[in-house]
Amino acid sequence: MSGHCCSSGACSTPGNSGREKDGREVKAAAADAVGIEVAGAIQPANPDHPDHPDHAYLAEKKRYAARIRRIEGQVRGIGRMIDEEQYCIDVLTQISAVNSALKSLAMTLLDAHLHHCVLNAAKAGEDELDEKLAEASAAIARLAK
């Protein structure tokens, strides 16, 4: 995970070596991972979202990217199946598999959001928490459709 503190073993995020450095090095590595200047003002990693400089999925970004690439491959495979005039039930089975994979990825991202973004909002105060809970509720409603 290039740029993330886990790549140097600086944090104890699940999936890394579990080694921790002293607090300053951990903070510096984590800050670097999300685009924060330790010595100066906070610089968001994503300038399009200055209100939340880091996202819950950053620690597992490579895994999420690999999962979405796998799903893309499945979708391309469905296109090939249609081009090759495969049996309709086989095509439907693959469509079901893609839907399941997307739903699983969505639930994993939702869980990360709840444990990171919503938890941080709870620490920040009631107004921020209310906003994040409303976002999470809306996302759950979209997923439930």
CB 121, CB 129: distance < 8 Å = yes
Q: How many CA atoms lie within 13 A of 61 on its CB side?
A: 14
Distance CA(136)–CA(81), nearest Å, equals 36
* Per-residue pLDDT at 2 exceeds 80: no
Helix (H) or strand (E) holding 143, with range, is helix 126-144
Helix axes 61-83, 88-113, angle to 10 degrees: 160
Share of the chain above pLDDT 70, in %: 63
Global pTM reads: 0.59
Q: Using an 8 Å Cβ cutoff, are 40 and 31 in contact?
A: no
**Residue 124 vs residue 11, higher pLDDT:** 124
Mean pLDDT of 77-105: 97
Q: Which of 48, 67, 46, 53 is nearest to 109 (CA)?
A: 67
- 34-42: average pLDDT: 36
Nearest-CA neighbor of 13 among 124, 116, 89, 118? 116
Q: Is the Cα dihedral 143, 53, 62, 24 positive or negative?
A: negative
CA atoms 138, 110, 119, 29: torsion sign: negative
